Amino acid sequence: MTSTTTERVAAPARTRRRRAGQSLLDTKRQWWGWLFLAPFTVVFVLFLLVPLGYAFWLSLHTQGIATGGESVFTGVANYVRVFTDADFLSGMARVGRFVLVMVPLQIGLAVAIALVLDTLATRLSQASRLLVFVPYAIPAVIGALMWGFLYSPRFGPASDLFGVFGLDAPDFLSRDLIFGSLVNIVTWQWVGYYMIIVYAALRAIDPSIYEAAKLDGAGNRAIAFRIKIPMIASSMVMIVVFALIGTLQFFTEPTVLRSVAQGAIPTTYTPNMYAYSMAFSYSQFNYASTIAFALGILVFIGSYVFLYATRKQSGLK
pLDDT at residue 9 in the model: 47
pLDDT at residue 142 in the model: 93
pLDDT at residue 20 in the model: 57
Mean pLDDT by 10 residues, the chain (317 residues): 50 58 67 84 92 93 74 90 94 94 94 89 76 90 91 80 79 91 94 93 88 84 88 90 90 92 90 94 92 93 87 63
pLDDT at residue 156 in the model: 75
HEC string of the chain equals: CCHHHHHHHHHHHHHHHHHHHHHHHHHHHHHHHHHHHHHHHHHHHHHHHHHHHHHHHHHCEECCHHHCCCCEECCCHHHHHHCCCHHHHHHHHHHHHHHHHHHHHHHHHHHHHHHHHHCCCCHHHHHHHHHHHHHHHCCHHHHHHHHHHHHCCCCCCHHHHHHHCCCCCCCCCCCCCHHHHHHHHHHHHHHHHHHHHHHHHHHCCCHHHHHHHHHCCCCHHHHHHHHHHHHCHHHHHHHHHHHHHHHHCCCHHHHHHCCCCCCCCCCCCCHHHHHHHHHHCCCCHHHHHHHHHHHHHHHHHHHHHHHHHCHHHHCCC
